[in-house]
Chain A
Amino acid sequence: MAILDDLQLSRREVMATGAAVGVVAAPGLAEAAPAEPAPSVMPTLMKVSFTVNGQRQSLELDTRTTLLDALREHLKLTGSKKGCDHGQCGACTVIVDGRRINSCLSLAVMHEGDAITTIEGLGTPEKLHPVQAAFVRHDGYQCGYCTPGQICSAKAVLDEIKAGVPSHVTADLNAKVQFSEDELRERMSGNICRCGAYSNIVAAVAEVAEGKA
């Protein structure tokens, strides 16, 4: 199996080796290997500077580093979570220049000069952000893994409604956008909670939106 240590090994060779040691390949698998491997490029390092939670940060990163990995692995801000790493679950949601985005689907080097807010920048244990406090009051989580993304997303949703951004469930595109639980559910659909704490999340955010928090 020494051949497996060779990093130059192609997919085709991996499959051939796999077959040789008795792994049964599915029909059609051999044809599925990419026809032409992309030309190999050495990893490229690049400098980038942005602010995170008000602090200026300068990093030198592999161009492949996502904003999420820069925050978690390089700046040790592990509040933002990696769930699916494909923009489907929303656990990585952060706020960049006032807008929520999936930090897993954005390259860190594309954020030169940006102002980034993560869950660590919204509130502190002593002084929680109103949305954080409402999540605690309403038990808006079970395992808590999706919670930082839910809270960053919810904070941005409230700002979007204030700014008059319509949604799929807004009845009249030309009227003033109003908060409602339907609006919230629609706007939060990019944040998945596998524990199913949705009803408490809605209660928590609604309380903040309605000014009762």
Chain B
Amino acid sequence: MRAFSYERAKSPREAAAAVAADPTARFIAGGTNLLDLMKLEIETPARLVDVNGLKLDEITPTKGGGLRIGALVRNTDLAADKRVRKDYGVLSRALLAGASGQLRNKATTAGNLLQRTRCPYFYDTNMPCNKRTPGAGCSAIGGFTRSLAVLGASEACIATHPSDMAVALRVLDATVETVTPDGTERSIPIADFHRLPGDTPQVETALARGELITSVTLPKPIGGVHAYRKVRDRASYAFALVSVASVIHKDGSGRIALGGVAHKPWRVEAAESLLPRGAKAASEGLLAGARTTSQNAFKLTLAQRAIGAAVAEARA
């Protein structure tokens, strides 16, 4: 690990200004992803701004009947919150399907959104990667692609976003609240928060340099049967090959989003409107435009079946 200076931020605005003014600075909260990457020298900040003291660790009701989740609420606490379990079950389920108990105790809501891909070539510093070194090339294309993206990928990058939580937030139409270095607050719909790789795969979110997530808000509960189905290589503590966050209503309408298939949670509202006609019709729309390799084409079948199972279970 490279040496770095360390400071504790005193206010969200100060933290944002500090990181905005210093290109070598990074925020640190739970640290479970950043420190892992720093040990491998994939991340090499010269300055860490610790935001843990900023009191952004509460879950409070919003005026609109929803919930405001502080950026520093730990994954364990968010999953266990009684209001989340009752009204936003898909979020609890997604969180509990991710990582391990130890990691969920540290990992934060904002950090979960900002975690980096687990593409094996991103982690292998002996191989070119456009995320690590823009313009270096993508080793994954033509390489071992079994775990990688089948939707929304580009010629520069076929990495996936690893978060389970983000997939649930996408079906719940969450909003990411931020503070910018000049103190302005901004609300970013979750749909616009994560970016597709395009030709700048190193730019993963809509955040500006130094912009700090302060909370994530959920709209008022939408009812329905909430589920998160995660298909992976082992029963626990593994990233998704494919995951489905679903909220299905009695009349068969609902919302679905996929994880493990793209650079961001994958949801297509137009395809979702076909849900009352059956899971198959909706799946076809959701997976339209997929580009697969011989190693990852199975993800499309897996996604169709997982969606089918989610819908069948919800309507049983």
A interface residue numbers (CB < 8 A to B): 26, 28-29, 31-32, 34-35, 37-44, 46, 62-64, 66, 85-87, 90, 93, 99-102, 105-107, 109-110, 153, 156-157, 160, 163-168, 170, 173-174, 185-190
Contacts and interface: CB of A to CB of B under 8 A. Distances in A.
Interface in B134-187: 134-137, 139
A42 B3 contact: yes
B83 to A, nearest CB: 11
Contacts of B31: 105-107, 110
A28 B102 contact: no
Interface stretch (B122-130, B240-248, B258-266): B122-130
A116 B231 CA distance: 36
Contacts of A38: 2, 24, 44-46
Contacts of B5: 41, 44, 63
A35 B133 contact: yes
Given A105-B106, A157-B101, A64 B136 contact: no
B134 to A, nearest CB: 8
Given A165-B76, A173-B89, A173-B92, A28 B128 contact: yes
B297 to A, nearest CB: 26
Contacts of A153: 101-102
Contacts of B39: 85-86
Looking at chain B's contact residues, the main secondary structure is loop
Nearest to A15: B126
B191 interface: no
A166 B32 contact: no
Interface string B78-120: 0110000110010011001101111101100000000000000
A108 B306 CA distance: 42
A100 B99 CA distance: 14
Interface string B37-53: 00101001111101010
Contact of B35 (A28, A29, A107): A107
B6 interface: yes
B301 interface: no
B6 A107 contact: yes
Given A34-B132, A173-B85, A44 B6 contact: yes
A105 B36 contact: yes
B106 A34 contact: no
Nearest to A103: B102
B136 A31 contact: yes
Contacts of B46: 38-39, 41
A29 to B, nearest CB: 6
B100 A90 contact: yes
Contacts of A64: 1, 3-4
Interface in B43-85: 44-48, 50, 52, 76, 79-80, 85
Nearest to B47: A41
5 contacts: A32-B128, A32-B136, A38-B44, A87-B36, A190-B99
Contacts of A186: 235-236
B80 A105 contact: no
B101 A105 contact: no
Contacts of A35: 133-136
A174 B48 CA distance: 39
B298 interface: no
Given A28-B128, A102-B103, A110 B52 contact: yes
Contacts of B1: 64
B6 A109 contact: yes
Contacts of A100: 101-102, 105
A106 B132 contact: no
A128 B297 CA distance: 53
A46 B101 CA distance: 30
B2 A41 contact: yes
B137 A101 contact: no
Contact of B24 (A31, A39, A156): A39
A102 B102 contact: yes
Contacts of A62: 3
A39 B24 CA distance: 8
A105 B126 contact: no
B108 to A, nearest CB: 13
Contacts of A156: 101
A152 B106 CA distance: 16
A29 B129 CA distance: 11
Contacts of A157: 101
Nearest to B41: A34
A109 B132 CA distance: 28
A73 to B, nearest CB: 15
A63 B103 contact: no
A162 B35 CA distance: 31
Contacts of B80: 163-166
Contact of B101 (A28, A164, A187): A187
